[in-house]
Amino acid sequence: MDLNYSPEELAFRDEVRDWLTKNLPRELKQKVERYEHLSKDDLLSWHRILAAKGWVAPAWPKEWGGTGWNVVQRYIFEEELGYAGGPPLIPFGLSMCAPVLLQFGTDAQKKKFLPRIFQGQDFWCQGYSEPGSGSDLASLKTKAVRNENFYVVNGQKIWTTLAHYADWIFCLVRTDSGEKRQEGISFLLIDMKTPGITVRPLILMDGAHEVNEVFFDDVKVPVENRVHEEGKGWTVAKYLLGYERMNTGRIGASKRELEKVKEFSKNVADIRFRDRLARLEVELMALEITNLRFLDRMRRTGQPPSADVSMLKIKGTEIQQGLTELAFDAMDPTASDEFSVALRKRYLSMRKTTIYAGSNEIQRNIISKMTLGL
């Protein structure tokens, strides 16, 4: 096992850092650093800057715009993006729907959707969770009934991140109510402008509008928008979730936040606070080494991440929460300046990190069952 970067990989890292320093717009970087709201235009402008460079979809095949970088280079790039303070690249199109299309999609689906995702012409969201069907995703109830060349979809999705921005949504729907729940699920791509779709905001405790309820009332979806076979959507969903959880560690962004917390709390003399900060830094170092272990395995075997990738999701999100808690504890509780207000909102918003992409309790069950055999 080799956890060190080669001279070529270090040179690549320096190239990425230099480009980001010169090309990340200052106003976007400042918004991220101040925890300000990022609009749809903010998110797409950064996406399009990277697309013009050819760096927006490094993991895609070169024929569809990928860079041809190996798995270590892609990891370095993602972590440098986070460390530089760039706006997040919204994953629903780039690193969730696109890998599904590349693996399971038809040639027609690839030609229709992939170029538009790459250029940032279509904004995507994910339709998985439902009321009562979050961690137990196989219990979903949104139905799709086939009528010749269309499916007619009825049901509801919840906690749909950025659905109010989205042009398209990829959805898990029930096309069969057979004995085995997983075998009756299909994967559909749905145009958000289709009649019968209603998006209703869910305002979170930080006051932000980030997630939504999405209702489907007799929504017609062409059969050609089904990905993979009917009733085999669970296979697609499992494939997609492996990619989602590999990207939730956010080590580069956490390193940037750690430096900010150190600066923010440099006058805090409380020994217990300093101890918590030191412990969190050690945990972040350990997480980075664990991530490098996964990378080394992928580099040697060429295999996608297995169930134990859930470790990255668990520890990565706990560290993200811990950093925000430390910053919150170090701040003046009476402060009312814009940054302090934004930090309070961020503290509230970060409570969700251990829930999304599969709650951390469920991730521990996955590790216990799939990796440890318990």
* Predicted pLDDT of residue 305: 61
Helix, strand, coil % in the chain, rounded to nearest 5 = 55, 15, 30
Query: Residues in the chain, how many?
Result: 374
Cα–Cα distances (Å) from 65 to 12, 97, 99, 298, 346, in that order, read 19, 15, 13, 22, 35
* C-alpha distances out from residue 145 to 185, 186, 206, 214, 278, Å: 12, 11, 38, 18, 55
pLDDT for 374 equals: 65
Distance CA 151, CA 143 (A): 9
Rounded Cα gap, residues 134 and 162, in angstroms: 17
The pLDDT of residue 179: 67
Tell which residue, 212, 192, 204, 226, has the closest CA to residue 109: 226
SS3 for 159-173 is CCCCCCCCCEEEEEE
User: Which pLDDT tens digits describe the chain residue by residue (374 residues)?
Assistant: 556 788 999 999 999 999 999 999 999 999 999 999 999 999 999 999 999 999 999 999 999 999 999 888 988 999 999 999 999 999 999 999 999 999 999 999 999 999 999 999 999 999 999 998 877 788 899 999 999 999 999 999 999 999 999 999 999 999 998 767 788 999 999 999 999 999 999 999 889 999 999 999 999 999 999 999 999 999 998 888 765 555 667 899 999 999 999 998 988 989 999 999 999 999 999 998 888 887 777 777 766 666 667 888 899 999 999 999 999 999 888 888 998 999 999 999 999 888 887 788 888 888 888 767 76
The token duo for 104 is 């399971």
Gap between the Cα atoms of 153 and 197, Å rounded: 10
pLDDT the model gives residue 238? 82
Long-range contacts of residues 203-211, Cβ cutoff 8 Å, at least 24 apart: 204/348, 204/349, 204/352, 205/348, 205/351, 206/344, 206/345, 206/346, 206/348, 206/349, 207/345, 208/37, 208/345, 208/349, 209/164, 210/161, 210/162, 210/349, 211/158, 211/159, 211/160, 211/161, 211/162, 211/163
pTM value is 0.90
> Could you tell me if 310 and 368 are in contact, meaning their C-beta atoms sit under 8 angstroms apart?
no
User: Which among 80, 130, 210, 244 is annotated as catalytic?
Assistant: 244
Which amino acid belongs to residue 281?
Answer: E
Measured CA to CA, the distance from residue 131 to residue 114 in angstroms comes to 31
Domains identified in the chain and CATH numbers: 7-89 (no CATH), 124-236 (2.40.110.10), 248-371 (1.20.140.10)
Residue of 275, 270, 277 lying closest to 254 (CA atoms): 277
- List of long-range contacts for 54-61, beta carbons under 8 Å, 24+ apart: 56/89, 56/94, 56/118, 56/120, 57/94, 57/98, 57/117, 57/118, 59/95, 59/99, 60/98, 60/102, 60/114, 60/118, 61/102
148 belongs to the catalytic site = no
Beta bridge partners of 157: 214
Nearest to 345 by CA among 365, 362, 328, 363: 328
